[in-house]
Amino acid sequence: MTHPLSPVTFDDDDPRARGRAHGELWRAEIRELAAIRAELCIRRAAYRSLDEVDAMAARHLPVLAAELPEMSQELLGIAEGSGVPAARIVVLNHYTDLRDIQPADLAPGAGEDGDGCTAIYLSGPDGPVLGQTWDMHATAAPFVRMIRVAPRNGTAEVLCLTLTGCLGLAGLGRDGVAVTINNLTSTDARVGLVWPALVRAMLAEPDARAALARLQAAPLSSGHHYMIADGRDFFGVETSGELKVLTQLGPKAAHLHTNHCFDPVLRGRENVSRQTTSFDRLNSATTLYLQQRPRDLEGLWRMIGSHDGYPRSICSHVDELRGDPSASRTCARLAMELWSGKLRVAPGCSRDDLPLELELAGFASKRPAAP
């Protein structure tokens, strides 16, 4: 049987054709997930109608076209291939940020639920590893996929954890740039760059410094924490809609992050839900790190599968706690070995462990030299 996260390759040189192939392959899934996320924008944010959600999403299309034309073409291709309007593909991609944007005539809502993600970077004798849980509304779980974007002209290759209809959530590029993301809930959210497009652009950069520069120059929409690493450098950047702060630095250190800001200025721009498990997960990750002193992919993998403090654990099960399938749970786990280009991914909970090991075809020749 094929592994559920066995990567699908999109190899057209033309980004529009690549998107169209993606859209056609997962037509039904894209329609379904776009509808789920548009509805959640109404339930979990201040939008009053689907028209209002689509109108706000549509305002992101010109920003994407101006900032990242290739990614814009790929997104429009996904819309064409799936038969779902482009604005709704923006809703599917940019859901967590759209939720934070308040229609102008409404008071800010009280961030009902923080979707999670626990990101961990650590280093050992075989070099650094970077990974994360991807925690989202549990109804997103059936839509998680791995994609390999590898144009036939050989100009680029990325392996991405993603969702049907989404450009990419986190992953590893051919030149060794790895990126993970944590959602942050900002109070200064605005129309900006569709964030999965930015992740893809960062993964395509030649090194972590260039990916950092790409992030620093991007007109963001709402908050995320990005971990960027390439085996030589590590950067952890917290953002809100308007601000970006480099909060973590240093390739030899260990870095942990969940879904609240460390930076004191950014703390004034976030709306952390009272129900959030972010602090519990950060405490668990800190304790596990100190107890286990993980130094490699196996150690990282154990950490991101931990049920200490269940259901508010790193492998998160908030949906079971609340009996609400739209509450957060760990939908996937991803770990990347930065010197080898090896990547391990698994769907869902660590108890049904189904890891899949992948490697970038073009990575070996680009392997960063060991310091």
Q: Which stretch binds Zn ion (CB under 5 A): 29-37, 78-86, 161-169, 342-350?
A: 342-350
Q: Exposed (0-12), middle (13-18) or buried (19+): which is 256, by Cβ within 10 Å?
A: buried
Closest Cα partner for 133 from 291, 215, 256, 266?
A: 256
Segment 146 to 165, residues that bind Zn ion, using CB under 5 A:
none
Closer to Zn ion at the Cβ: 208 or 349? 349
One residue of 140, 315, 334, 338 binding Zn ion per CB under 5 A: 315
Kindly state the smallest distance separating residue 330's Cβ from Zn ion, in Å. Answer: 6
Q: Which stretch binds Zn ion (CB under 5 A): 57-65, 199-207, 235-243, 310-318?
A: 310-318
Closer to Zn ion at the Cβ: 63 or 315? 315
Q: Which stretch binds Zn ion (CB under 5 A): 20-28, 188-196, 203-211, 346-354?
A: 346-354
Kindly state the smallest distance separating residue 167's Cβ from Zn ion, in Å. Answer: 27
Q: Work out the number of other CB atoms within 10 angstroms of the CB of residue 190.
A: 17
The residues pairing with 148 across neighbouring beta strands, listed in sequence order, are: 9, 159
Angle separating helix axes 297-304 and 278-292, nearest 10 degrees: 140
Kindly state the smallest distance separating residue 349's Cβ from Zn ion, in Å. Answer: 3
Closest Cα partner for 81 from 38, 140, 31?
A: 31
Q: How far apart are the first and last CA of the chain?
A: 41
- Location of structure tokens 């004798």: 125
The bridge status of strand 8-10 relative to strand 328-337 is unpaired
Please report, to the nearest 10 degrees, the dihedral formed by the alpha carbons of residues 68, 197, 338, 183 taken in order: 140
Closest Cα partner for 12 from 184, 132, 161, 148?
A: 148
Q: Which stretch binds Zn ion (CB under 5 A): 155-163, 164-172, 194-202, 341-349?
A: 341-349
Query: Number of H helices and number of E strands within the chain?
Result: 12, 14
DSSP letters of 138-188? GGGGGGEEEEEE--TTSS--EEEEEETT-S-SEEEETTS-EEEEEE--BSS
Closer to Zn ion at the Cβ: 64 or 161? 161
Q: Which stretch binds Zn ion (CB under 5 A): 70-78, 201-209, 241-249, 313-321?
A: 313-321
Q: Which stretch binds Zn ion (CB under 5 A): 32-40, 146-154, 157-165, 307-315?
A: 307-315
Closer to Zn ion at the Cβ: 16 or 317? 317
Closer to Zn ion at the Cβ: 349 or 358? 349
Closer to Zn ion at the Cβ: 41 or 141? 141
Instruction: Collapse the DSSP code of 63 into the 3-class scheme (helix H, G, I; strand E, B; otherwise coil) and give the result.
Output: helix
Closer to Zn ion at the Cβ: 67 or 115? 115
Closer to Zn ion at the Cβ: 19 or 305? 305
User: Residues in contact with Zn ion, total (CB under 5 A)?
Assistant: 2
Would residue 327 be called left, alpha or beta, if left means φ above 0 and alpha means ψ between -120 and 50 degrees? beta
One residue of 40, 147, 163, 349 binding Zn ion per CB under 5 A: 349
Kindly state the smallest distance separating residue 356's Cβ from Zn ion, in Å. Answer: 17
Q: Exposed (0-12), middle (13-18) or buried (19+): which is 25, by Cβ within 10 Å?
A: middle
Closer to Zn ion at the Cβ: 92 or 346? 346
Kindly state the smallest distance separating residue 331's Cβ from Zn ion, in Å. Answer: 11
Q: Which stretch binds Zn ion (CB under 5 A): 8-16, 70-78, 95-103, 309-317?
A: 309-317
Closer to Zn ion at the Cβ: 225 or 333? 333
Kindly state the smallest distance separating residue 43's Cβ from Zn ion, in Å. Answer: 25
Kindly state the smallest distance separating residue 307's Cβ from Zn ion, in Å. Answer: 6
Kindly state the smallest distance separating residue 313's Cβ from Zn ion, in Å. Answer: 7
Structure tokens at 125: 């004798």
Whole-angstrom Cα distance, residue 162 to residue 145? 5
Q: Which residues of the chain form contacts with Zn ion (CB under 5 A)?
A: 315, 349
